[in-house]
Structure 1
């Protein structure tokens, strides 16, 4: 009995040292505050104090639900679910009267005159990067303060203000980080920066399920979390949005404005003035606690796809906050011991200073929003064109995806009533749409369609070119005069899906490869053991008594080689699900070109894909590749870390994909495995530095431009030390869109109707021109820069050089690209090259000996 009691006492002591119960929320809040006892404190719900350990998402959510249930000042709702099915919560905090009338208040937001007397809206978004978790913990403190405080100033403020709190923007990444830290922290706190607690594994908590940086997705909307949030953002239309992050441990605290010259020209100058006004409140709050901070350095306001910048083109003021990160419970830094509590406290201080600054200057922020949209009307009328017209005649999926993104951004798009001709191109009414500039979202339209190449400051924290129609390979043009342009009266709305009905006696079925989801359909039917072939030459055949021409890449499913009784219904179901038309052929004799029994129809099979991952591999590019193959095409991908490759039987896989990364640590044994696997028929795809590594290992027969050569492109003779940063900016391509010229006769280009293809580049990995015939699938055009910044020296060096090459290695193939063909999940235009590499690599032969 005594021994059992001793064990209990020891267990309790150990538990206490690990958990350290008792920290009170009041330590984070203004002194002498009076709080309602009806509202639970964080420590009472969590079982530990804020900053003492890292709570899981479900614990945070449970506490905030208790706050909402106990306070008439707080509403909580679910915006949606993440890929891992965690709830994306949104709190609305205001006076009970405002909350009772919240639907009417929000309904008036679009009518600025009618909403002039309504409360100002402040949105606080926390921890979009899941391992920057001080924000989420600060959110709990702020929510408690606003829900429970009895101070007159807080009560008065809530009468005039609606505060919207998104406590955890990235729940999946947050829990990945929390599990890591909780697993690796010791009983005794260890501030050593080298401790494993501070160094996450390959897939860090920064990113979401697919490895995406959600703070780059506000404009692109490729991820579920962003798509779930945006309707609420446009419903609330915040006047001010605070975006709370963390940075390196040796920093201090940053708040905007950032570098003035790195603000996008579409952002009004008044935006910066109001950001500076708010900065005085942040400074006052941090000064009172003797906290270090800085502003107008490091960060920019250029790319509109971030939480702190998207409001800037939607009538609000976005403000970025960056706290030095302990990346655990505590860490030694150049500024002394940095604790988790310290970071939480700073974010609480600036959260409250954001609310205070917005409330006390609400007239200025309301007037700014009113003037923002008035100025937009004037700027639209001052343009030398009236709008944009766009079309996509072949790929309905890409067209619908593009239209959906525009609608999510509240942009009105009108279908054409009749064909329209401009610049010697006819836009067919059935597939074409018009966007007038004269609408409230003028700046968002410009941000999405802009192809700016010249900038005041050429140093970019993020990408400089993101033109949406280029990324999605949608043809578009500016419309000057609208004379003769006839559109429907009502904006576009999505239509219902159509069933695909097929004849039950056809000789063969055909579907064309230009549809974005054609690879998904092909993978599904081949996995279902329905046999299919690809046409390597064009042909013409009768469909419903009309002769139709089919291009290379067309998929045919002949009835005579099927062995399943219900294969026709399975095929029909898959086609309906993917909204891809199936065309029936009544005979194997074609009107022109190859007949159905020709050997020019090559068998295709479902790929078995291995993606190389692990430390050294870009988690972003690996995530983007996974998103395309796994989420969009539903092709399973096996991820194997580099250090495990020696134990893997590569013969189990048809394809290996290597995205950008550092591959110098791969052993000679792995290289030998690759060579043997290729010789026996494997297909290896390498992207960016992976392609460079393949060249260095003599597996890829193409040379690359050296770093020394790139350095020699820039004259440094007259530069002084102050020019160092500018020179570094000129030598890099932070992210821009270039024009590639495809060889559309090549199987890797099947499905493309025109040779011009916009591609994304964010590196200076450059292939040299080659004299080897037939291995260049795509090269850059003579003047390749389409959107964004790249120094002219680099643009000239890229011109006419290959960007996509492919050739035989034994029975196998090596394919290499210097571009990111699946960038951030929204570059739908170039993604098909990856699918073609999976299905059609054996449909071409480029033997180096020929």
Structure 2
């Protein structure tokens, strides 16, 4: 085994180096770190030290940039590597590239190299890639390596050596603590049993490889801002998979999204052929065209693809379980050194492929953007989104569009046109009004626009492994239309959409009124509660001063806040401005219709003490989404309770307990569940999400139940139905699956859980909810028949989802239980449902 490792180390140090190589002053990773690559995992701080060393010692070939920091304060780096004659004109090259594709005005100069961006360690416990990149960096910077120096004449190589330092360091610190002095390859050894939550995710336990399109995380926002300043022709993402697997490189599996061009598909083949050449030379096992498809737009291979790049994923067998040595079932032992060799080889093979075809790569990239500007893809050439009474949602959307470099304007006049109506799902005559947001497809990012706005993403094969629907109008809860033609627009932002504070001006109003229909309103409420402002909300609609206000409207009265004096008005106005919401002052508590502000239907809003459960058994991403919502999105204090000591927690210290999805039998044992039930009955509020609702269904005291189902009658009528080909197992199982389908949920918007919505909202369903309507309690959100909208939902799953409860609320003693069978905080990008969760936390039960 050790002889094999030694040969591998020699191999990956010499495979791309011509004979005659001699040692130079630049230190190798081994010389700098004091150990051979593969002998241990490198700490992030040591990775940073080597980057900084290379930057000092090779300034004529490397520019190192810190482009941001993680949530835990670790630096994020980009290393730009080029030939000396290009490193001095790096900024010119960057700007030239943007000018060529229409993202920057002006005429480009000649002699443009291709730009290659390589990303490593987006999943923290897929730790081999940040080991391999150390050798990649060295060989690209080594002036005696004639082969790499030749490539750099045609390419600028941008390297992000660790996309997710927080996750990586979580894994490396754990592994270095528990590993044996001599690596133990037995899969049952502690060093192969990574504890919850694992190192895959970032600080808030988000999967950064699912966040490129949505950019909800700090790391993604900073990284994509820099990516958009470069717009590389190729992007490669380096990953790991099961320790039993071999190695995966392109071409990708089906389904391919229909907007991936013939050239992008062809170059996937070319890249694969070059990788295959080196892997075959070394008798390394690999596979292609399986598992890893190019459909969901938020991966490290798909989002760059829809931005014109040729992009691919590389997957090495191993991942967090493999450690330094892992005994596989085939009798072989997979070592970290082998894994490094494979990723190292794929990295250089990728650069080589682009360098040898630089002119063709640039030519096709320019054609991609020329087509985008003059002949954009798809049947729709304009998207219009209604803005009236949706100003906060529009603000959130335009902030997102700005991050994507998507241009937009505003409608200048009235028009009636035939269009696709996202709300009804039909082509019909629609009314377009001044100030509506308009997005024209005639711009550089039109392919990305088409993908993000498409009502139905064409799925050529149902065997995909992620979300299949994501249209932004549904995600943001906006009324929108897709038009086949153009429409007049202006770039100037209308005054009506600007942040407004108080109209009309009243020196010391009786109360301030704030409508309730967006995440911004939840953020505003949170800010006021944190500063101990007393707030009420109306359970019924009312009208005053000629304006109508829907249930859920916040009523911030001077009564109860008198002790604050003028500070009261200052805080309300300042926080409204910060959140981008309008507050309207009123001189009286009397209304023209509806309930006056002293009515029993105007409820006082308590400042709840919130806890969320985490730890083994709880879904790590599910918990992270709740944690991130409170800490980063609405900045409201939340206490994290660990499942390992939850049975000892005095729940009376909290008003609200959130149960993310997870596997609860070992957490909420009968004894502990009784404690939770008693706490609810005494006045607590329990919010159950996803599979936590499934766990509670049918339990004593909980009103939620499963629908009665039986397939026995079908079997007795047709016993041959049990005879299924094994080869069709995946396709048979997909019939029961929901791959991120969009459904129209019917709402009872008289209930506080649905305040701020109409009688429906579009939900991104992730699983088959098979709950019956509750006999005791309120069925606030339900799926009726024929309410599927888009995305893949299997035939049997679609049937089960008919007449199913999605959102429910029951009173239990003096407390409340809220059931949210779908995840309203999924990946933090489905903005339309965040208000629902805010309602559950702050409004229900007050």
- TM-score, length-normalised on structure 1? 0.90
Q: Which residue of 1 aligns with 2:397?
A: 402
Q: Does 1:646 align with 2:647?
A: yes
Structure 2 residue aligned with 1:345? 341
Task: Single out whichever of 727-736 and 41-50 deviates more from structure 2.
Answer: 41-50
Residues 768, 801 of structure 2: 8 Å contact kept: no
Match of 2:726 in 1: 721
Paired position in structure 2 for 1:292: 285
Separation in 2, partners of 1:732, 1:116: 52
| Preserved contact between residue 136 and residue 344 of structure 2 (Cα < 8 Å) | yes
Mapped partners of 2:70, 2:661: distance in 1: 27
In 2: Cα distance, 1:491 partner to 1:344 partner: 52
Partner of 1:332: 327
Alignment of 1:189-588 (within 5 A): 189-259=183-253, 261-325=254-318, 327=320, 328-335=323-330, 336-376=332-372, 380=376, 383-422=378-417, 423=428, 425-430=430-435, 432-452=436-456, 455-482=459-486, 485-489=487-491, 503-542=506-545, 547-562=546-561, 563-565=563-565, 566-588=567-589
Classify 1:44/1:711 alpha carbon distance in 2 versus 1 (closer, same or farther; 3 Å): farther
Matching residue of 2:81: 93
Contact kept in structure 1, 2:392 and 2:581, CA below 8 Å? no
- Picking from 22, 45, 48, the partner of 2:32 is 45
The answer as to whether partners of 1:402 and 1:469 remain within 8 angstroms in 2 is no
Moved more, 304-313 or 517-526: 517-526
Helix, strand or coil at the partner of 1:189: coil
Residue 150 (structure 2) pairs with residue 146 (structure 1): no
Q: How many angstroms apart in 1 are the aligned matches of 2:499 and 2:550?
A: 26
Q: CA deviation at 1:494?
A: 14
Contact 2:742 2:764 (C-alpha < 8 Å) held by counterparts: yes
CA separation in 2, counterparts of 1:112 and 1:197? 50
Alignment check: 8 A CA contact 2:408 2:491 kept: no
The answer for the alignment partner of 1:109 in structure 2 is 97
Is the contact between residue 129 and residue 239 of structure 2 (CA under 8 Å) also seen in structure 1? yes
Following superposition, the deviation at residue 428 of structure 1 comes to: 3.7
CA separation of 1:190/1:837 partners in 2, compared to 1, >3 Å: closer, same or farther? same
Q: Is the 8 A contact 2:125 2:319 kept in 1?
A: no
Residue from 119, 124, 137 that aligns with 2:118: 124
Question: Is 1:116–1:366's contact at 8 Å kept on the other side of the alignment?
Answer: no
- 1:486: how far off? 2.4
Assess if the C-alpha contact under 8 Å between 2:769 and 2:800 holds in 1: no
Give 1:706 deviation, angstroms: 6.5
User: How far did 1:172 drift?
Assistant: 1.2
Post-superposition offset of 1:207 = 0.6
- The question of whether the paired residues in 2 share the 8 Å contact of 1:412 and 1:491 is answered with no
Task: Work out the number of aligned pairs and report it.
Answer: 814
Counterpart Cα distance in 2 of 1:167 and 1:246: 15
- Measure the CA separation in 2 of the matches of 1:500 and 1:634: 24
C-alpha distance in structure 2 between counterparts of 1:158 and 1:258, whole Å: 27
| Residue 785 (str. 1) matches residue 788 (str. 2) | yes
TM-score, normalising length: structure 2: 0.91
| Whole-Å separation in 2 of the counterparts to 1:384 and 1:519 | 37
Q: Which runs of 5+ in 2 are unaligned?
A: 102-107, 418-427
> Is the 8 Å Cα contact of residues 126 and 168 (structure 1) preserved in structure 2?
yes
Describe the shift of the 1:36–1:447 C-alpha distance in structure 2 as closer, same or farther (beyond 3 A). Answer: farther
Alpha carbons 2:411, 2:434 under 8 Å: kept: yes
Query: Partners in 1 of 2:402 and 2:752 — Cα distance?
Result: 35
Match of 2:750 among 745, 748, 756: 745
Structure 1 residues 788-845: Cα deviation after superposition (integer angstroms, max 9, x where no partner)? 11124432332342211111111111111221111111111111111111111214xx
2:763 equivalent in structure 1? 759
**Structure 1 unpaired stretches of 5+:** 1-19, 844-850
Paired residues of 2:703 and 2:777 also in contact (CA < 8 A): no
Deviation at 1:492, TM superposition (A): 10
**In 1, Cα distance between the equivalents of 2:770 and 2:204?**
28
Q: 1:701 aligns with which of 700, 703, 708?
A: 703
Distance (Å, rounded) in 1 between the aligned partners of 2:605 and 2:840: 12
The residue aligned with 2:104 is: none
SS at 1:380 equivalent: coil
Q: Which residue of structure 2 lines up, in the alignment, with residue 66 of structure 1?
A: 53
Provide the C-alpha distance between the structure 2 equivalents of 1:711 and 1:360, rounded to a whole number of angstroms. 64
Partner residue of 2:778?
Answer: 775
Whether the 8 Å CA contact 1:711–1:731 is kept in 2: the answer is: no
The answer (yes or no) to whether the contact 1:414–1:492 under 8 Å persists in 2 is no
SS at match of 2:285: coil
The 3-state SS of whatever aligns with 1:734 is strand
